[in-house]
Chain A
Amino acid sequence: MAVYILVKFIKAGITLWLILTLAFFASRVSGNAIDFIMPEGGTAEAKAALTRYYGLDASWGTQYLAYFGKLLRGEMGTSFHFRQPVAELYAGRFPATLRLCGLSMLLSFAVAVPLGILAAIRRKAFSGFLIQAGAFLGYAVPNFVLAILLLLVFSFHFRIFPSGGSDTWRHYVMPVAALSSTLIASLVRFSRSAMLDVLSQDYIRTARAKGVSEFSVISIHGLRNALITVVTVVGLQVAGLVSGAVVVESVFSWPGMGELLVFAAIKRDYPLLQSGVVLVGSVVILINFIVDIAYAVIDPAIGKGA
């Protein structure tokens, strides 16, 4: 168990280091960032002063070390555009993203698992086909298309839900729905195939042969075993969910990290962008790490395997 956690920890550390390094070098090979923030008609001296101010005159090696030193102290630089510490900007936006992703995760799980199991039980019935078809459709509709469709119908036509912001529960409905759809679609397919897999096992036949009621077969013997597979998959969906959040936030002007990231990318605000990628990446890695540990606690066989 201790070895397993250590291995996972080292892996997470290496991944994090890879992200940090790639983020550092990628934003420096692209030419001089100073050009983007210089006002038009600035003199060469002003440019040199700005370059010095942002520490961009040192060698890459020095900058690389300074970058890690600053990160360790929690300093992530100043946004070119907002002239504000990047850490502050993201700290204010983190809760909104967390709420959006958390709610979507909960909703997806609550909706998808029952539907997937129903689709497995009613595999040959029309309802099973309908769920399966819906899952395929949900998978093929990208988040932003659904977001646009929801906006058209519920904001512009019926005027039920507001098109942006995050103040009341009404603001949550459309972003959460748009973000959840893909996750619901893939979880439905996963829980369906997990359940089908479980239902074809020998112990299910044994249970049926013993005369266990169909309800107990499904809920006690089937569901519990299928859930293990489904829960394993949920951890892997976190990265996808955050990817979706970036898009959904920018459609609904959701005051989260994703919206700020897209803004930073379009404005080429490198400190903002670089720290954002690093921050979000770290959070996802941390969540994955916690999920890995949780599996080992739930299922001791995993911990011994590593």
Chain B
Amino acid sequence: MPTTENSRTLHAMKVRYRSPSHPLSLLAKATPASKVCMGLLLLFVILAVFAPVIAPHSPSAQKLLYRLRPPVGMERAVSGYILGTDELGRDILSRCLYALRVSMGLAFLGSLIGAFIGGGLGLLSGLGGKWADTAIMGFVDAQIAIPFTLIAVFIVAVAGSGLHVLVAVLGIAYWEQYARLIRAQTLGLKESLFVTASRSMGAGSLRVALSHIAPNVVSPLIVMFTLNFSNIVLLESTLSFLGLGVQPPTASLGSMIGQGRDYMADAWWLVASPSFFVVAIALVILLLGDWLREALDVKTS
């Protein structure tokens, strides 16, 4: 979009040659802020995974007597509904927990798909010869030039607003960044001595890709995955907010804000809690990505 956008992570990463560091050595480099972020991320994951256990109510249980009640501590609040209720008397906390599950799950799937498509095409672009490179880079340029919200809106309108369509849209949202990253790394590594040596001993493109290129791109890939995850959370929430993402009765954080919009003049809590969750997740993961970039020493230019 938001805004969440193609141009958001436009750092092209420089080629680096290093063996991937051990995960535990990473933890030793953790700053206090990054520890807080890791803790919060763990909390969000636990909340999302165990939403059915933690949620005090069913996310779809309606109590029409308790419509539009404010959070606990305010006038007219109902005990047991900590964050208040929505226009149908559903518990906002429970809905937020389930929405968290939906939003994070979708974003994770989308990020994985993007990494696989983009990474694969990037490898192909770097190793597959001139024509493959030209064709793939043509699509990369096209995707950079077009505002992604347009593509997303278009696809959803055409293919319908099912969950599988949404996952596909999130998956292709940032593939071109992975493609550019992996291509640049591959082109650099291709000329390196160890690849030349391996080639001279008869290794084919596939072997070079798997045993020499792949291990060397792990660090920048992790950094990019983390930063993109944050962007995809924002993109999913934007699409769902516009009514083009997750459809009722399923709720994601974005669609809760989108539906709460009609009542927010009188009931601000309908939009406040899901908004808080969206920003909190995006921020925590963004900060983690930024820390990872420094800790793994991935240079950006």
Instruction: Enumerate chain A interface residues (CB-CB to B < 8 A).
Output: 11-12, 14-15, 18-19, 23, 26-27, 29-30, 136-137, 139-145, 148-149, 151-152, 156, 182, 186, 233, 236-244, 246-247, 250-251, 261-262, 264-266, 268, 270, 273-274, 276-277, 280-281, 284-285, 288
Contacts and interface: CB of A to CB of B under 8 A. Distances in A.
B62 to A, nearest CB: 24
A71 B97 CA distance: 48
Interface in B234-255: 234, 237-238, 241-244, 254
7 contacts: A15-B146, A186-B8, A239-B144, A240-B8, A246-B150, A247-B2, A247-B3
A23 B237 CA distance: 24
A222 B3 CA distance: 31
B49 interface: no
B264 A149 contact: no
B278 A142 contact: yes
Nearest to A248: B3
Chain A, interface SS category: helix
Contacts of B279: 137, 140-142, 145
B159 interface: yes
Given A11-B141, A19-B146, A265-B153, A143 B1 contact: yes
Contacts of B156: 265
Nearest to B230: A140
B123 interface: no
A136 B286 contact: yes
A148 B237 CA distance: 13
B138 A243 contact: no
B141 A247 contact: no
A239 B6 contact: yes
Given A244-B2, A247-B238, A262-B242, A284 B278 contact: no
Contacts of B88: none
Interface string B1-44: 11111111010000000000000000000000000000000000
B237 A142 contact: yes
B283 A137 contact: yes
B5 A239 contact: yes
B261 interface: yes
A27 B158 contact: yes
A247 B153 CA distance: 11
A142 B153 CA distance: 17
Nearest to A181: B3
